[in-house]
Every structure is written in C-alpha cells, then in structure tokens.
C-alpha cells in the first residue's frame, strides 16, 4: 500500500508541475534548498525544462549558503540576490503600501518575492514556480504537532485554514511581482493536486505530537525521485526566517518606534 501511495504522489507531483508550466519554456524556481523547492527543481530538471534556481536572502542567511550547496549537487543554474540592509527598509515600505496587509508573515513573504521578482526580471525570466502548498497539504508546520492530539478532524480543519491563508498570500505575491513582469505559479496549490493530497492518510504525513520532521510521505517520494538526502531531511524553516528577512523586518519596526 505504501509503495502504491508513493507512486501516486510521484505521478500527481509531475502532473501538477506540467499543468502549471503550460507553454512556458524558460522558468525560475524560488529556491531555498529545502525538500519542497528542491523536489520542484528535480521534477523540472527531469521534465527537461530550462529552469534557473532563484535565491534571495541576507549574506549570512541559511538560504544563501545552503541553497548554493544543493544547487551544485543538482548541477542547475543558480542566481542569488544578497539583500542590502539599507535598501531593504525602503523596499519594505513599498511592499507594505502595495499589498495593504497587516499580517506580518504576509508582508515578509511578499518582501521576499519582491526580490525574487526583481532577480527573475534581471535574468530575463518572466515565470517563477514555487513549492508553496507542500507544508499545508503534508502537515509541515509545527502547529500540526500541537493539534494532533485533538484528532483527524482538527488536523484537517487546520490544513484547510492553512490552505485558505496560503491562497490569499499567493494573490498578494503576484500583485508584487507583476511590476517586474513576472508571474508566480504554484503547481502544488492547483485544485486537482489539492484534492489528491487531501486524500492521503494523515498518518503518512505526521506521526504524532512529538514529530519534529513531518511530511514523511513527501520526503520519501522526494528521495525516490532523486532529491539529495541533505535536502530530503532538512527541517521546515519558513522563508522569512531562513532568509533572515524576518529578523531585519523586526529590527526596522523596532527602530521606527
């Protein structure tokens, strides 16, 4: 049964990416080196798509260092935009004004994609794929651990709430990147993939309230597809934290007070 589920997930992942790509022949991939973005990159490489990995973050951030290591293993083109502290706070004001949202995590994610959009545009890339949706659909967030004792209904309610939030965020992100003539697509947030992934048994995704890894069936699928082991077992860290955007954002807010 487990092997059958792995095969079905693999097929669904490839189908979702192909559907999202459409007629695009050249793509960027928002890339941190973690399991989700590396899985997406590996699928694109196996399909034969001309894809460039795009990473943004401050110089000392995990994303900048770790993504470079994984990109070399993957042998894929990789572009990095290292963020400037002074310019960052001016750009933050522009992003906040554009999306008119008071949710800190949304603002920080939109800031990250503001830079991804700029990096894509500077490299003549007009379509960027992201792996958003994997954490929502495969119980990647730490919050799923605390909800686990409440049972499957509570877990599915949390999953739905996380999905709804992510879909709103993706709309905000595209409002940001459109000024760079860049469209952001999310294969794993397409309706067909969402419907499929929600049908995978919860116990294949998270094992209990002490499960610090989570997304087990997705990680196993990534391993089977050929994602580097260091990416497969990389623990979840939100983009705004791994890029150090959250830290600099909070610093700016504190200084403004």
Which of these, 55, 56, 107, lies nearest to 252 by C-alpha position? 107
pLDDT per residue as tens, the chain (257 positions) = 678 889 999 999 999 999 999 988 899 999 999 999 999 999 999 999 999 999 999 888 888 899 999 999 999 999 999 998 778 888 888 888 888 888 888 988 999 999 999 999 999 999 999 999 999 999 999 999 999 999 999 999 999 999 999 999 999 999 999 999 999 999 999 999 999 999 999 999 999 999 999 999 999 999 999 999 999 988 777 777 778 787 877 776 655 44
Alpha helices in the chain (DSSP H): 2-21, 35-47, 62-74, 85-99, 104-122, 134-137, 143-147, 152-177, 191-198, 216-225, 229-232, 239-242, 245-256
Give the contacts of 74 (CB within 8 A, at least 6 positions apart).
38, 41, 42, 45, 53, 228
Residue ranges per structural domain of the chain = 2-9+26-256
* C-alpha to C-alpha distance for 35 and 58, rounded to whole angstroms: 21
- Domain 2-9+26-256 falls under CATH 3.30.460.80: no
- Whether the full predicted model's pTM is greater than 0.75, yes or no, is yes
Q: Which two tokens stand for residue 129?
A: 């794929």
Contact (Cβ atoms closer than 8 angstroms) between residue 222 and residue 231: yes
3-state secondary structure of 28: strand
* Greatest CA separation for the chain: 57
């Amino acid at each position: 049964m487990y092997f059958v589920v792995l095969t079905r997930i693999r097929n669904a992942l490839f189908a979702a990416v192909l559907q999202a790509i459409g007629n695009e022949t050249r793509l960027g991939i928002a890339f941190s080196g973690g399991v989700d973005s590396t899985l997406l990159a590996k699928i694109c490489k196996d399909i034969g798509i001309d894809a460039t990995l795009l990473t943004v973050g401050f110089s000392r951030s995990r994303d900048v260092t770790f993504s470079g290591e994984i990109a070399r293993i993957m042998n894929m083109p990789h572009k990095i935009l290292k963020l400037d502290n002074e310019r960052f706070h001016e750009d933050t004001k522009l992003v906040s004004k554009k999306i008119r949202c008071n949710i800190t995590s949304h603002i920080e994610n939109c800031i990250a994609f503001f830079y991804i959009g700029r990096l894509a545009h500077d490299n003549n890339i007009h379509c960027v794929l992201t792996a958003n949706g994997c954490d929502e659909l495969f119980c990647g967030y730490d919050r799923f651990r605390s909800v686990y004792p409440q049972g499957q209904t509570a877990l599915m309610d949390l999953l739905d709430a996380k999905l709804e939030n992510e879909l709103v965020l993706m709309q905000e992100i595209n409002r940001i990147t459109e000024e760079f003539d860049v469209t952001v697509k999310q294969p794993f947030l397409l309706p067909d993939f969402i419907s499929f992934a929600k049908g995978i048994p919860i116990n294949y995704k998270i094992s209990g309230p002490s499960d610090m890894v989570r997304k087990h069936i997705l990680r196993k699928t990534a391993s089977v597809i050929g994602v580097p082991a260091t990416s497969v077992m990389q623990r979840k860290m939100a983009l705004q934290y791994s890029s150090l955007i959250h830290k600099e954002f909070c610093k700016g807010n504190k200084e403004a007070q």
